[in-house]
Every structure is written in C-alpha cells, then in structure tokens.
Structure 1
Amino acid sequence: MPVAEQAVIFPHEGEQLLGILHRGAADARLGVLVVVGGPQYRVGSHRQFLLLARDLAAEGVPVFRFDYRGMGDSSGDMRGFEDIEGDIGAAIDQFQRTHPSLEQIVIWGLCDAASAGLLYAWRDSRVTGLVLVNPWIRTEEGLARAYLKSYYLQRLISRDFWTSLAAGRVNPANSLRSLLQMTRKATASRHPDKARKTPAAQGEQAAAPSHPPRRARQPLPERMAESWQRFRGPILLVLSGQDLTATEFLDTTNRSPAWRGLLERPNLQVKPLPEANHTFSRDEWRTQVSDWTLAWLENPTAHHRRTATP
C-alpha cells in the first residue's frame, strides 16, 4: 500500500528538484500542483502549503508541491519567477509519472508563484485550472499607488497620526516629502519618456538580467493580461484585504486597458478575505483558503464572482 506522502527527486536541465507527493485517491484524474513563490520553499509561510496539501489529499485530491531550481532543497542557481516555465513543466511530468491516473492539473500559487502559474498555464494543455492567491503584478508606479491608497490615505484619516503630529512625534516635512515622492512615482506612467530618463530607471535597466525578446517587449502587467486572455480554464482568485500586493493587483487591473473585461469573465471566481494579510498568518485564514480551494475544485465552473475591494 503506497504511503500518503512521498518525497520525490526528479531531474531538470542537469539539476535535481525535490517535491512532495500527497497521493489522494488512487484513481483521481485531477491533481493540484503547488508552485512555490520566493523566497520560501515547499512548506510555505506558516506551513500553509503543507496544510493545504494535506487538506486536499484527505478529500481525495492528489497534490504535488515542489521546490524549483535554486529554492529550498532543489539544486541550481536561484532564479526569478519569470524563469521557471521549465521547472513547472518538469514538475507536472513527474506528478503524472508518480500518479499515472492524472489527466488534468490545477496550478495553485501565492504571490509571484501565482503570476508564474498564470504565465505558464496557457502553454500546457494539461493545465485546466488556476488558483491565484494575491498575484504579483509589481511595477514601481503600481506599488506607489498601492502605498498611497493603503498607507498614506489611512494615515491621513487616522486619529493617532494627528495626535502624534500635534505632540511633535511626527516630522511633517519628512511626511510631506515621502508623500510627494510616492505621488511622483504613482503618476510616472503618465510621462513614460520622462520616467525612462531618470537615473533610477537607467540603473534598474542596467542591472536587470537579460531576457528573451518576448519578455523584454512588454511590462509584467501586460504579459499577465495576455496570459489571462489566452487561458480559457476556470480561475479562482483569492485576495487578502490587508495586503499591498493584492491592492496593487486590483488597482493595476482596474486601470490597465490590457485588463479591460478580463476580470468580468464567467470562468472567474473572486474570493476576498478582508482581514487577512499576504501570507495568511492566522489559522482561520489558512483554513478558509483551503475550504475555498476544495469547494472550487469540486465545482470550478460555478459562477460565484463578486466584487473584491481589499
């Protein structure tokens, strides 16, 4: 009788990757691949990925969580989430080898792993669904807008801020300077030529790793929108209410012409968790995400989309 959890070592491009298989039902046709976002490994923050895998496997859903090259216990140089397509493909291959009944794969990812899963999914017909948790869609302008919305606005309406200001515990000049800097960054996209000429932008360009031309053509939000457009399977989108990454995702997708209408598709379910932080540090938040995932897997095409406003 096979063990419920099994460590698996599998090769990819000369490196050795480590994964953990949670078997679930022996005849299951659908399994969940947990892609790990950095910098962490296959257990996840607060053991979230481990607990999620055990919850799903207990209900018969096989799960494979793995460390891609350079992460956790896998060998190789560390790489960014935009360079792990091959790792994801190799993990799916291994998942199917160790669980031969599998025909359909759902990719589950948090933060930049969600983005990696989205960028990959439409390229592989075996991937039939996505669970995207607080997807990473970072740009300098998007982050600045998220700060303005989530931090500076809340400070301005906070009684503690004005009490501290009156008591001299807050330097108004520094606060104003910081606010103006964030405002300039948030509006930089309105003046792209000017933004490209700034020393910071030149420094970032010089320091950026070389990428194939396909990646160099478009910013991350546009590439993610293209991948969303191309992927036709069901998507579960989970967004934390107390998270800059989730706030930036919503703000960017609401503003970007490339995303127009994509979050209105009937294949999408949106589940907001208003009190949760980025890594779901409380047990009740992790349990809720696990329950949502299981319910969605049982009926992924049901249309329960609702407006999310973290």
Structure 2
Amino acid sequence: MDKRFSLSDGESFLEIAVHFECGGARLQGVVAVPARSRETGVVVVVGGPQYRAGSHRQFVLLARRLADAGWPVLRFDTRGMGDSSGDLVDFESSGPDIAAAIAALRKAQPNLERVVLWGLCDAASAALMEAGALPSVAGLVLLNPWSRHAGTLERAQLKTYYARRVFEPEFWRKLWSGGVHWQSAVGEFAGKAFRAVKARVSASFGAGPTAPLGFRQRMAGALTEFDGPMLFILSGRDLVSAEFLEFSASHAALSGLWSRERVKRLDMPAADHTFSSRELRAAVEEATLGWLNAEFSGGRL
C-alpha cells in the first residue's frame, strides 16, 4: 500500500512497495518517490545481517529526508535477507542484487539519468566494488567501509583502543590496585604490535598476510579507477572506520586518495559505527543531502 508523506512545508512524496527479480529470487524494496523527482536517484545498499529499515530505522529516515528534498530513493533487502527470498549472499557476492535494484529504481522513475550508491560498513564495500561495472552509477556515499584484515586491524587497535586507554585515569587506578594484570596487558600489547609490524613488512615484500585479501584488492582497484564523486563519512568511535583509514594509508595505490578533487571526507569524532543517536543520524542525512546538491544539482556530472 502506497503512503504519502511530507516532512517540510514543501511538496509531499510517496513510499511505494516494489519487488523485482534477481538470480531466481524475488527481492523486496521501498521507493520513496518525490512529487517532482530529480534526474539522480539514490540506491541504499544494505549490508548484513540487516534489512531495508536499517539500524535505528536509519535507512527509512534517510530515504524520507532525501525524497522530501526531491531525490528518489530505493532501499531494499538483498537475497536471503528481510522479506526477500533466495539464499543468503555476502557482500562480496551482492553485485547482481545491486544491479537489479538499480534497474528497479529506473523502472519506477523512468526520468532518471544516473544513480548514487549509498552504503554503510560491508554495504559500502560492496557498493564500491561494484560501482565500476554499473554504467549508471555516477557517485558513491560510503560510511565506515569494511576492510577487515589481521594486519590493519592490529594497527587500528593500537592507535585507537590502546592509545586511548593509557590516558584514562580508570585504567591506571585498576593497574595500581591490581585490577589489571600488567604482565598480561603488556604481553597483549606487545603481541599486537609485533603482528602489526610483521603484517606491514610482509605486505611490503609482496608476501601478503595469511588472511585472504581478495575483496581488499577489489576495493583498492575500485578506489583507484572510479572517477565519479565520492563522499566518505567516517566515525571517530568505530574500529571499522579506523581500520579503513589504516588500509587506505598502507596501500601504495591509495596514497593520494584524500587529496583527490572529487573525494570528500567527513570525520565525525563523536559518532559510533551506526550513528545511533538522533543528532548523528540527522548529521549524516544533511551531509548526504548537501553533497548531492553540490555534485548533482544544475546538471553537474
């Protein structure tokens, strides 16, 4: 059943339930259709295990905010998640789902000329990896992309958790009172430091750590080759975000990523991984909207 909304004094928008096929499965989604749509639409790629509403209804609220400003948005369940049928697919295999979702949005909004992919965590990684193979994708909004690997994880932990802990009075109180076993703490820290250095040295000699790097190589290639505008929104209180920064800093091909003209980065120091407060979600919505207006209003490509 279609529902009409109006979040501002402007024109209202509709939410329309849609379904579409992908690999023999039926995928379910919701399109937020503005009264007067722009020629750029947004597909919210959903990571797992999660469905199209998002944590704290983040994707619902985002889609409504963008649609209220004239940007059509599709949020959908990938195969095997939420209300979609089929076998569960992971983010590395969700390319067909994303392509089918883009086709569904274009069918619902025939005037669309281009699409922006928006994703959080492994959905951001999936959107990035697939963007180059999808001609209608003109831009990316990537929040805390997933780049998990033993080496960068250890370095991120050293720079975030351990660096922060030594400045916390509670840590020292526990240490002096015996609440923290200092030999174990030092041993754990030294072990992580050794593994982080070993992983970086191995990578520099081309040996590669033991964990598979396939999806990270695809991400690096996509970051190098995709020439459309990209917005990164990175949380300050999130290990996934910290690890992505380590990944981008340690990969030779990405050394100039943050200085590229069409790459924008918004750091949100107080944000957790899912932007769980009302204020943080609103900030993400406004950042996304501002970036869309800057990049795709007035016919800019």
Provide the residue aligned with 2:111 in structure 1: 101
Kindly provide the amino acid, as one letter, of the partner of residue 289 in structure 1.
V
- How far residue 43 of structure 1 moved from its aligned partner, in angstroms, is 0.6
Q: Report matched runs for 1:108-123 at 5 Å.
A: 108-123=118-133
Compare 256-265 and 49-58 and name the one that shifted more.
256-265
Q: For residue 286 of structure 2, what is the aligned residue in structure 1? A: 291
Identity %: 43
Does residue 46 of structure 1 match 2:51?
A: no
TM-score (norm 2): 0.89
One-letter amino acid matched to 2:106 = Q
Deviation string 1:83-138 (CA, Å, 9 cap, x unpaired) is: 01111000101111111111110000001111111111111110011001111111
Q: 1:68 aligns with which of 57, 66, 78?
A: 78
Q: Is the 8 A contact 2:49 2:81 kept in 1?
A: yes
**2 CA distance for matches of 1:161 and 1:29?**
54
Counterpart for residue 277 of structure 1: 272
* TM-score normalised according to structure 1 size: 0.86
Match of residue 181 from structure 2: 171
- Measured at CA, do residues 268 and 172 of structure 1 come closer, stay the same or move farther in structure 2, by a change above 3 Å? same
In the aligned structure 2, how far is the partner of 1:297 from the partner of 1:195? 39
Does 1:262 pair with 2:257? yes
Q: Separation in 2 of the partners of 1:301 and 1:252?
A: 29
Determine the structure 2 residue equivalent to 1:36: 46
> Structure 2 matches for 1:248-259, cutoff 5 A?
248-259=243-254
The superposition leaves residues 261-301 of structure 1 with CA deviations (integer Å, 9 ceiling, x where unpaired) of 12211001111111010100110000001001111111127
Q: Distance in 2 between matches of 1:112 and 1:76?
A: 20
What's the secondary structure of 2:34's corresponding residue?
coil
Structure 2, unmatched stretches of 5+, are 4-13
Contact 1:234/1:268 (<8 A) preserved: yes
Question: Deviation digits for residues 200-252 of structure 1, max 9, x if unmatched?
Answer: x4xx67xxxxxxxxxxxx54333212111211111111111111111111122
The amino acid that maps onto 2:186 is L
Contact 2:37/2:72, CA 8 A, preserved across alignment: no
Distance 1:192 1:121 in 2: 26
Unaligned 5+ runs, structure 1: 206-217, 303-310
Deviation at 1:24, TM superposition (A): 1.6
| Cα distance, 1:94–1:301 mapped onto 2, change above 3 Å | closer
Deviation at 1:197?
11
Residue 85 (structure 2) pairs with residue 90 (structure 1): no
1:59 corresponds to:
69
| TM-aligned CA deviation for residue 27 of structure 1 | 4.1
Q: Pairwise CA RMSD of aligned residues?
A: 2.2
SS of the aligned residue for 1:300 comes to helix
1:169 partner SS: coil
Could you tell me which amino acid in structure 1 is paired with residue 123 of structure 2?
Answer: A
Residue 235 (structure 1) aligns with? 230
Deviation >4 Å, runs of 4+: 192-198
